[in-house]
Amino acid sequence: MMTSPNPVLVWPNNGSLYRIDDEEGIFPLPKTAIENTITADGVGSRMVITVNGLFPGPSIVAFEGQDMIIHVRNLMHTESTSIHWHGIKQTNSVDSDGVAFITQCPILPGQTFTYNFKADPKGIHFYRAQIGNQQSMGLYGALIINPRERILPILHEGFTVLLQDWNHYDDPDTSYLRMLDGVYDLNTRKKINTPQSVDGTNFTDYQFHSGLINGMGRFYETASISNGAPLQVFEVEESKTYLFRVINVGTVYPFRVYVEGHQTLTIESSDGYEIINNVGTAGKKFVVESFIINPGERFDFTVQANQEPGTYLLVAESLEALNSSIDEYHVAEAILHYAGTPVIKSPPKATPNICTPSKPCNTFNCPFRYYPLGTNRYCWTFDTDSYSTESNYKDINTVSKTLYYNFGVLGDFIKKNSSVNGHQFLFPAEPILYRFDQMHARCENANCGENNICQCTYYEKLEMNKSYQLVLSNIGDGKGLSHPIHLHGYHFYIVKMGFGSYDSTSAEFLQETNDIRCLGESTPNMCNSEIWKRNAWVTNPNSIPVIKLSHPPIKDTIIVPSGGYVVIRFKANNPCPWFFHSQVNFHTTNGMGMVLFVGDNSGYSKSTNPLT
């Protein structure tokens, strides 16, 4: 539907749009007539949330260190909201972090809230709704912080790619209930099977219908036939090199990103920080055929337009292992068009890049160990020879304390509970930043234990200027899909990733890691309390094998593999409460989150407290 000035219904075909009364598709609408059109995947109608009339919202571009003053007015009639600036450190501006009931009151209908913060750090970030599942309805946009000094060589035009999984249900509440209770086939009256990842682990009951790039995509009615909805077009010139900035703003699904016909992509950075495969003179960029990007992650890559000029597809395929009997194709697509050649508005589905035993394809950032043997595809996990020359790693050479957090979802057909260490997070009635002492649903007052699920406002106090090691796990009877975990207010160092065991032929997950011991003897065991199995790792964290203490890579969002763990370190030098949660929106809504409270909030006096 066109959004303004005179809305009309349109329908898609062969990459063009037609008025709903042009039933034969004779008069395609010109580009000037559809500038304000929101098509998504071209199927039916669904409520979306726009920012300044745009879906996705407009990109915000600034230079590192600039003062950002952004006024957000809530024009929704019945929904409150707040906006999180994903990736921004918010040093001395915690009240602009944008988490309702943690750092601010929600923005009520008709109200305006002003966010004021420094553009730091450089890199590709994004803004998004932090209440409920409004992000899945389109309340998001790119936030690009350019460095003061050029780091990458001069490149030709860059492109921003906002990836989103798209679902045809008309509101986030319905989708959330379907995630909790499952989706049922009205003909068979049976629950539709939960989709599985490449390694055989379950995703969620949130159905993937289509993928969008910058708010555009097409719906595949079968594995080979689409509805011909328009796609985003990126125009390139032959022999030139281009920077693509990819952001997964999706609700649930990770994507494997590749460019049809272009076998080599160069990974430049992730979450705003450079990554290379070594340091010093031996350091080189990661050159891969594809990479995996999880919700909340950002990757910059470069590609040279060095193929026969024509029309190709930039493809982001979901990590679902679709059974050959299922006639579906789950991708997000955009057109890569070489200037000077005719553009094919609705190209056929992409031809996969060729991977052979002699020339296998490398995929970076896998949340599992293997792809099936016959695919001739190798997995590189994020910690595989991954370094950053931007690391101030001496801050974390020694740690004051190791903390363990297990992210799990335990449930059946009746009820699902998402939690951290068995604590299903309850948001307080008033912002913790200002009313911590008056918080009522404290976990010390709840019925929590080694094998219980309790509902409370889960938090951990951290001392200022101490260095911490966090072991983030996804084990026990609540393990499930690999969880993308995001920490507000910080970037952290990835010093180790641990995986379970897999079948090297089928790539199927077999057994969780043997490095961690779950405390408690109950069955099922949620692993709400855990510790390293090897006592030497407990007493001397630096003795952990293959731990990376020199130039470790830096992230703010990391995937915790199913049946495995990630070890991160950071110096707690940014005070106040910071939300720490799953980036899968439905899991966060269902309680998979907590607060890391660094220092105290004495800096926020009554003069800065809006509640007084």
Residue 327 lies in a domain: yes
Same domain, 99 and 237: no
Same domain, 271 and 315: yes
Residue 21 lies in a domain: no
Tokens representing residue 461 in the block:
């106090």
Number of domains in the chain: 3
Same domain, 362 and 477: no
The percent of residues in the chain predicted with pLDDT above 70, rounded, is 89
Task: Among 351, 380, 409, identify where a domain stops.
Answer: 380
Reference 103, options 612, 610, 456, 465; nearest CA is 610
Reference 587, options 464, 489, 479; nearest CA is 479
Same domain, 447 and 573: yes
Residue 12 lies in a domain: no
Mean pLDDT calculated for residue range 466-483: 92
pLDDT tens-digit readout, 548-568: 999 999 999 999 999 999 999
Residue 126 lies in a domain: yes
Contact by Cβ (8 Å): 334, 234: yes
Arithmetic mean of pLDDT over the chain: 88
Q: Read off the amino acid at residue 97.
A: D
**The length of the chain, given as a count of residues:** 612
452 or 405: whose pLDDT is higher? 405
Q: For residue 426, give Cα distances in angstroms to 216, 416, 528, 594.
A: 35, 15, 17, 9
Same domain, 542 and 590: yes
Cα dihedral value 255, 272, 276, 265, nearest 10: 40
Same domain, 279 and 373: yes
pLDDT tens-digit readout, 224-282: 999 999 999 999 999 999 999 999 999 889 999 999 999 999 999 999 999 988 776 56
Same domain, 124 and 231: no
Q: What is the pLDDT, as a whole number, of residue 148? A: 83
35 or 65: whose pLDDT is higher? 65
Residue 430 lies in a domain: yes
Q: What is the pLDDT, as a whole number, of residue 184? A: 58
Same domain, 411 and 374: no
Burial of 479: CB neighbours in 10 Å, binned 0-12, 13-18, 19+: buried
Contact by Cβ (8 Å): 469, 568: yes
Reference 119, options 82, 94, 144; nearest CA is 144
Residue carrying structure tokens 């796609």 = 231
| pLDDT at 606 > cutoff 50 | no
Q: Which of 139-148, 287-296, 315-324, 557-566 has the lowest mean pLDDT?
A: 315-324
pLDDT tens-digit readout, 110-121: 999 999 999 999
pLDDT tens-digit readout, 491-521: 999 999 999 999 999 999 999 999 999 987 7
Considering 13-27, 87-101, 378-392, the range whose residues carry the highest mean pLDDT is: 87-101
Residue 538 lies in a domain: yes
Give the residue ranges of DSSP H helices in 87-210.
Answer: 172-181
Q: How far apart are CA 583 and CA 15, in angstroms?
A: 33
Q: Which domain CATH number covers 480?
A: 2.60.40.420
Same domain, 370 and 478: no
Contact by Cβ (8 Å): 124, 144: yes
Same domain, 375 and 399: no
Same domain, 406 and 367: no
Q: How far apart are CA 212 and CA 585, in angstroms?
A: 17
Q: How far apart are CA 56 and CA 601, in angstroms?
A: 35
How many Cβ atoms from other residues are within 10 Å of residue 139's Cβ? 26
Q: What is the pLDDT, as a whole number, of residue 393? A: 82
Write b or e for each residue in 344-354: b if 16 or more Cβ atoms lie within 10 A of its Cβ, otherwise e: ebbbebbeebe
Domain ranges, residue 399: 393-598
Sheet with 290-293, side-by-side order of all strands:
233-236, 331-338, 311-318, 255-259, 290-293, 361-364, 377-380
Q: Read off the amino acid at residue 441.
A: A
Contacts of residue 161, Cβ cutoff 8 Å, sequence gap at least 6: 213, 214, 244, 245, 246, 247, 314, 334
Write b or e for each residue in 312-328: b if 16 or more Cβ atoms lie within 10 A of its Cβ, otherwise e: bbbbbbbbbbbeeeeee
Residue 546 lies in a domain: yes
Task: Among 119, 146, 173, identify where a domain stops.
Answer: 146
DSSP 197: B
Same domain, 422 and 317: no
pLDDT tens-digit readout, 169-214: 755 566 666 656 666 555 555 556 667 788 777 766 677 899 999 9
| pLDDT at 37 > cutoff 60 | yes
